[in-house]
Amino acid sequence: MRIKLGILGVEDFGIYNVVGGVVGLFTFLNVAMTGSTKRFLNFALGQNDTEQARNVYSASIVLHVLIAVLVVILAQTVGLWLFHTWLNIPIERQNAAFVVYQLSIASAVIGILQVPYEATIIAHEKMSFFAKLSIVESMLKLGIVFLLSVVLFDKLIAYAFLICITGIVFFLIYKVYCNRTFEIAHFRQCLDKDLFRQLLGFSGWNVFGGLANTGKSQGVYILVNIFHGVTVNAAMGIAGRVNSMVVSFLHTFQKAIVPQITKSYAAKEFDYFERLIFRTSKVSFCLLFFVVLPLYINAGFVLQIWLINIPEYLVAFTRLSLLFSLVHAIAVPLYISIQATGDIKKFQLIGSSFRFSNLPLSLLFLWMGFSPVWVFIVKIGIEILILVWIIFFLGGMIKFPVIGFFRKVIVPVFITALVSVCMTFFVQNLFVGNWSKLIASCVISTVSIGCLMYWVVLNRQERLLVQNQIKTKIRKDC
């Protein structure tokens, strides 16, 4: 990121992010269909119905091709109108921004077509593939950054072009791997109208969620651009990248759990289904908190080491993004459990209304002259409200143990967070110098969160599971 920012510059980096935000506005259809594809694949495999899984795979490919065509049409009509009418881009960079916009559309289309293959890999729980691919991705992106330093023409255009090529490479890797590895991953003509109707019906309600999430992220990007320009967009983009790097390992962990939650519901193993939700929510929070706490406290110093020149608002944006991710980490297993039931109409109507309120509330605060920091504060506040609401919603929907979730998940993670924050702040203030404070906060936060997680968050059965895993690991090493 530091090298990329140095090569592109703050202005061009901000342009890349806001232009991508316009294209992202039209991917809400893909978000909806992605949830539908993953749910139906996991459900079919959970019932050991290979024939149905094969049909879902083939139908999802057809539907994602149609979505890709629709996204291109919207991006080349409504998107171009937004680009030329509303975006706050310096005149001398508008031609370059237009080329980047077209390349971003191509990248979005590639990402849409990749979804059925990614969903198939996740449904078969091949997480090692994602781990290996993440290493390849990191190496390719690092190579792109170094290549930019020797490019003689417009570096912003070159960066967008190389990212597009990288997307094509990964699409081909996903496709070849799926075709060679999984029995169901071979396209065939699917004439099951009921299946298409079910997929579209499920995704139809997910459209509300897709629209809301798009407004919460890409729509707010555009609002901030209109009121504050591309420099603040650059700060938002960097904060987003920092947050993505921090939560990337958690996404891998949660991807491994998603199929298990859906398959356990499909197999009617409801006790295991509830235990998975409880365990995933609290472990997700704690795993993320190990990284978030020392980074939050030392955000200014860490960003200064990384970037040298810190754009305005970046430290605040980074801290608030991390707080949002902590709340979201608890909520993700709850979202998955509702998707697993297939009954998402009421959830999407009410939950999406909550999320979509990010856009008008952010507009209100920006119009009244408030700092763009309030965009993130609004986002966190709404996510907390959604978390509380979804717990009670599940209670009425599938007899989910609401009181048990608060007692066994929310209260323990809150105690863990509160005590570890107090301990880390206290010990850190005993040291002088930024490096000493950083090292001290990393050590004390790791020890305190680890101990509290073991004794407060995990129940007796989970502690025994951890002990057995450690003993097994020691025996293997010996």
Three-class DSSP labels, 295-328: HHHCHHHHHHHHHCCCCCCHHHHHHHHHHHHHHH
Distance between CA 219 and CA 211 in Å, rounded?
10
Is 340 within a domain?
no
Q: Which two tokens stand for residue 339?
A: 């998707």
Is 222 within a domain?
no
Q: In Å, how far are 321, 416, 444, 454 from 440, measured between CA atoms?
A: 23, 18, 6, 21
**What is the pLDDT at residue 388?**
94
Distance of CA 130 to the CA centre of its chain: 15
DSSP sequence for 76-123 = HHHHHHHHHHT----GGGHHHHHHHHHHHHHHHHHHHHHHHHHHHHHH
Other residues' Cβ atoms within 10 Å of the Cβ of residue 434:
14
Is 146 within a domain?
yes
Other residues' Cβ atoms within 10 Å of the Cβ of residue 227:
18
Contact, 157 vs 12, CB < 8 A? no
**Cβ contacts of 439 within 8 Å, gap of 6 or more:** none
Q: What mean pLDDT is predicted for residues 288-293? A: 95
Is 316 within a domain?
no
Is 374 within a domain?
no
Contact, 397 vs 341, CB < 8 A? yes
Question: For residue 290, what pLDDT band results from cuts at 50, 70 and 90?
Answer: very high
Residues 199-249 pLDDT 10s: 777 666 666 677 777 777 778 888 998 898 888 988 898 898 888 888 887
Q: Which two tokens stand for residue 98?
A: 């237009």
**What is the pLDDT at residue 140?**
82
Residues 99-144 pLDDT 10s: 999 999 999 899 889 888 888 888 887 877 877 787 787 778 778 8
DSSP state of 44: H
**What is the pLDDT at residue 233?**
87
pLDDT at 445 over 90: yes
Residues 16-57 pLDDT 10s: 888 887 887 777 767 667 777 777 887 888 778 888 888 888
Q: Which of 129, 137, 213 is nearest to 175 (CA)?
A: 129
Count how many Cα atoms sit within 13 Å of the Cα of residue 393 in the half-sphere of its side chain.
Answer: 21
Judged by DSSP in three states, 246 sits in helix
Give residue 141's domain range. Answer: 1-211
* Count of the separate structural domains present in the chain: 1
Judged by DSSP in three states, 154 sits in coil
Distance between CA 115 and CA 123 in Å, rounded?
12
| Better-predicted residue by pLDDT, 312 or 10 | 312
**Cβ contacts of 394 within 8 Å, gap of 6 or more:** 334, 337, 338, 400, 402
Is 443 within a domain?
no
Is 261 within a domain?
no
| Better-predicted residue by pLDDT, 97 or 195 | 97
Please work out, in degrees rounded to the nearest 5, the angle formed at the alpha carbon of residue 208 by the alpha carbons of 206 and 212: 120
Contact, 225 vs 17, CB < 8 A? no
Name the CA radius of gyration of the chain, rounded: 23
Distance between CA 2 and CA 149 in Å, rounded?
13
Portion of the chain with pLDDT greater than 90, in percent: 34
Is 293 within a domain?
no
pLDDT at 478 over 70: no
